[in-house]
Amino acid sequence: MTDDDLLRYSRHLLLDEIGIEGQQRLLDARALVIGAGGLGSPVVLYLASAGVGHITLVDHDIVSLTNLQRQIAHDMGSLDRLKVESAAARMAALNPGVRTRALSTRADAALLDAEVPAADVVLDCTDNFATRHLVNAACVRFRTPLVSGAAIGFDGQISTYVSYGDSRSRERPPCYACLFPPGAGFEDAACSTMGVFAPLVGIVGSVQAAEALKLLAGVGEPLAGRLLMLDGRRMQWSEIAMQRDPDCPVCGGG
Active site residues: 191
SS (H, E, C) 178-192: HHCCCCCCCCCCCHH
Sheet containing strand 226-231, edge to edge, reads 99-103, 54-58, 30-34, 121-124, 146-152, 155-161, 226-231, 236-241
Q: Return d(Cα 234, Cα 174) in angstroms, integer.
A: 29
DSSP 1: -
Q: Return d(Cα 12, Cα 105) in angstroms, integer.
A: 34
Q: How far is CA 18 from CA 7, 21, 30, 46, in A?
A: 15, 7, 17, 16
Q: Which of 216, 245, 200, 194 is nearest to 144 (CA)?
A: 216
Alpha helices in the chain (DSSP H): 3-8, 10-13, 19-28, 40-50, 83-94, 109-115, 129-142, 176-179, 191-194, 198-217
